[in-house]
Structure 1
Amino acid sequence: MEAAIRALAEEFGSRSEAVRYALLRTYKERLIEQAKADAARVAADPDDQAEMLAIQRFMGVAE
């Protein structure tokens, strides 16, 4: 772990910036994973699909 922090600190200028970068990157990756899981769940649910289509039609972006 120290080697990783040192390497990131060299790239980002300080240990604080290295830790900040690592935290934000990890958080972003978790959000993306959650979004993928949510998309898969919605894609597998016919009721959710129908609701999304109804909303798209209401907004005029689907026929």
Structure 2
Amino acid sequence: MATLTVDLDAKAERALTELTSDGRSATEAVREALVITQRLHRMELARIAVERLANDPTDRAEAESIMKDTEHLRAW
């Protein structure tokens, strides 16, 4: 397990104070914040990838071709 020392600015200090106001330790609050930030980062990377694919004419044409070829498989 890694140990981390962080110098907090005023904004981060206020955030930590709020996150520990329920009795949670600073360590627990920081661990949770890191995990949530990682999740948000991954979501942002996925959003960027989807946007890139949506704007790729070759990929769009391939998707439309697949949809046309499999239209007969649709339930409705």
Q: Which runs of 5+ in 2 are unaligned?
A: 1-11, 72-76
Alignment match of 1:46 (pick from 57, 61, 64): 57
Which structure has more RCO (C-alpha within 8 Å, separation ≥ 6)? 1
Contact 1:5 1:18 in 2 (8 A): yes
Q: How much identity, in percent, do the aligned residues show?
A: 33
Please report how far the alpha carbon of residue 51 of structure 1 lies from its aligned counterpart in structure 2 after TM superposition: 5.7
Bigger radius of gyration: 2
Deviations 1:16-39 (A, max 9, x none): 111011111111111111111000
Tell me what 2:30 maps to: 19
TM-score, length-scaled by structure 1: 0.68
Q: How many residues are treated as equivalent by the alignment? A: 59
In structure 2, C-alpha distance between the alignment counterparts of 1:12 and 1:31, rounded to whole Å:
29
TM-score, length-scaled by structure 2: 0.59
In structure 1, C-alpha distance between the alignment counterparts of 2:29 and 2:49, rounded to whole Å:
30
Q: Which runs of 5+ in 1 are unaligned?
A: none
